[in-house]
Amino acid sequence: MPTPLIAGNWKMNGSLDLIESFGRALADAELPSRLEVALMVPFPYLEAASRALTGSRAALGAQTLSDQPSGAFTGEVSGEMLREVGASLVLVGHSERRTLFGEDDSAVLARVRRALECELTPVLCLGETLEERDADRGEAVVIGQLEAVLDGLEAGQRSRLVIAYEPVWAIGTGRTATPEQAQAIHAAIRRRLARYGDGLAEGTQLLYGGSMKADNAADLLVQPDIDGGLVGGASLKIDDFLAICQSAG
């Protein structure tokens, strides 16, 4: 099975002081040997985080990228810029990007392609709303979002994705999918991946991204198709984030 990955998404939070504190804590932490760790910090903090995380096992990630390499796109950030400041991963298609900034499936695919062109690992986010889940459309929505990207990539590109399932109804609401609910969707994602090539399902890291916390991480991470977590609010608290990392060992 894939190596577990715990990735912290700071969203529009954090500070230089917090980055320095995380850098020291991660450098000193005794983490499970079979574990990957990443922090997705706001754009202005990427270079500081790159320096602070030097000497730790944590990789640096960004929270989105432009689908263009350069040009007159005020406020946008290119994949080349992210690579230059040390990022190796980037979130693509996070529910907040889809709902607040209008990124549809075609926009998500374009950003995935740009990330791959820039040698960044796209962390592709998938998830359904409460209304979609209550209408028994949750799995269909998630699989549709997945296929919209996989159908637009070549076989070698598909194997470079990390996938994060983030039920929109469980983000920032305090609600969390039960381990069994999360596992069911993860299993459906892995079954669909298997249709796209030998070894793709077994080799792709599948993360759960719906309000994972220190007190529920172990129950989620023990599920057979959950390979790690995309952690929101708890990733801003050093002790909680490290506790989640320990749960993945």
Cα separation, 140 vs 8, in Å, equals 27
Per-residue b/e over 83-118, b at no fewer than 16 CB within 10 Å? bebebebbbbbbbbbbeeeebebebbbbbbbbbbeb
Question: Is 131 among the catalytic positions?
Answer: no
Q: What is the DSSP string of 113-131?
A: HHHHHTT-EEEEEE---HH
Question: Is 186 among the catalytic positions?
Answer: no
- Catalytic choice (94, 96, 103, 132): 94
* Residue 69, phi then psi, degrees to nearest 5: -75, -30
Residue 210 is classified by DSSP as: S
- Catalytic choice (36, 128, 132, 166): 166
Phi-psi region of 93 (alpha: psi -120 to 50; beta: other; left: phi over 0): left
Active-site residues, by number, are 94, 166
